[in-house]
Amino acid sequence: MVTELTYTEHLFAGTRDELLAKIEKQLKPKRFKHVQRVEQTAIALAQMNDVDVEKASIAGLVHDYAKQRPDEDFIAAIKQYHLNPILLDYGNAIWHGVVGAELIKHELGIYDEDILNAVRHHTTGAIYMSPLEQIIYTADYIEPARDFPGVDDARQLADKNLAKAVAFQAKHTLAYLVENGKTVYPKSIDTYNAWVPRYPNV
Ligand SMILES: [Fe+2]
Ligand SMILES: [Fe+2]
C-alpha cells in the first residue's frame, strides 16, 4: 500500500507533491523511483517503531537528493559551509550524505536535525543513530527492489528489531567491502564496533 501523507508539521515549506517535484528535478528516473520506495519502506518502519511518519517520509525522499550532483558542487559546499576539510579526500559515496545534508538544508529549507542526520548517516551509519536514522539506514538497504544475498534476512530482522537490522547491515557491508578490497570509511568501522558486538549473531 502506498502511503501519501499530508504534511502538517512544517518540516518542509510545501506539500509532499511539491517536495517530490523538487527531488524529481535532481534525479534520473531510476533513482527517483528508488527514493520513493525508500520513503514507503521508511514509513512502514516508522509505523512499526512509533517514529514520526512525516519525518520518515521526508527523510526517505531526500536521502539521495544530492547523489547526482557533480563533484564540484560538493567541493564548493565543503568550503562554503566550512565542513571538515578531510571530506575533500573522499568522493560521491560519502559526500552525497554528509555534504548532501547541507544542500538539502540550504536548497530545500529543511532544518530538522534528525532528518538531516538521517541523510548524513545513511551510507556509513554512525555510533549513535536515532530511531529515524536507523530507519533510513535500514530502508535504503531493504527497499523492495533490493536484491542481494541476505536481503530477505535483513527484511525479517527489520520487521522484528530495528537495531538488529542495523547491526546486520553494518556487519555485512563491512564484510563485503573487505572481501572486495574496497575502501572502508573510518565511520563504517565505528558503526560496526558500536552495533555489531551487541548482536554478534546477526
Ligand atoms: Fe545514498
Ligand atoms: Fe539510497
* DSSP-derived 3-state class of residue 25: coil
Give CA–CA dist 200/202, Å, rounded: 6
Q: What is the 3-state composition of the chain as percent helix, strand, coil, each rounded to the nearest 5?
A: 65, 0, 35
Centre of ligand 1 to C-alpha 123, Å, is 6
97 C-alpha vs ligand 1 centroid, how far in Å?
6
Q: Are 132 and 162 in contact (CB under 8 A)?
A: no
Closest CA to 187 of 173, 176, 198, 200: 173
The C-alpha cell that represents 193 in the structure block: 564496533
From ligand 2's centre to the CA of 202, what distance in Å?
A: 22
Cα 96 to averaged position of ligand 1 atoms, centre (Å): 7
3-class DSSP assignment, residue 170: helix
Ion ligand 1, residues whose Cβ is below 5 A away = 64
Cα(145) to centroid(ligand 1), Å: 14
Residue 23, pLDDT score: 98
* Distance (Å) from CA 10 to ligand 1 centroid: 24
CA distance from start to end of the chain: 29
The pLDDT score that the predictor gives to residue 1 is 60
- pTM tops 0.85: yes
Low-confidence ranges of the chain (pLDDT < 50): none
CA of 54 relative to ligand 1 center, distance in Å? 20
pLDDT at residue number 154: 98
